[in-house]
Structure 1
Amino acid sequence: MCNLAGMCIEYPENEVLLEYANSLFDFQNVYNEMQRIREVGAQRGQISIQHFFDGWIITRELSRRHIVKI
């Protein structure tokens, strides 16, 4: 999540990156990690394994459907 939060800081306009951040991790947790990187907040983002795998499966299925349509 630390790498993803860092990328969200560097490329806030990247919609694909933000979509992955929201799908794999709860946005509030990514935001907390971004704040920690910026040294504004001390609280780290929490990772929910269930949310991560649910998001990964959904993202994978959507990618598979997109590839089939092309």
Structure 2
Amino acid sequence: MNDKTPGDKLAYTIDNLARAVDVSDWTIRQAINSGDLIPVYPGKKKALIPKTEAERWLHSLPTERPEAS
């Protein structure tokens, strides 16, 4: 039996983090590619984003809506 709730996760896959913060996978991948979001790699390919890193990234986002160009 798994008694952990989704909020109890210690780390997220790219897909799960995107769903958790209601953004696209592309947004998460762009944040990783730009160095704004730092994943860890427990295996050769699968990226995991630790909960603390996800929270740090989320709190670092601007609070003002960008102006349209």
TM-score, structure 2 as length reference: 0.36
Compare the two structures and name the one with the higher helix fraction. Answer: 1
Compare the two structures and name the one with the higher strand fraction. Answer: 2
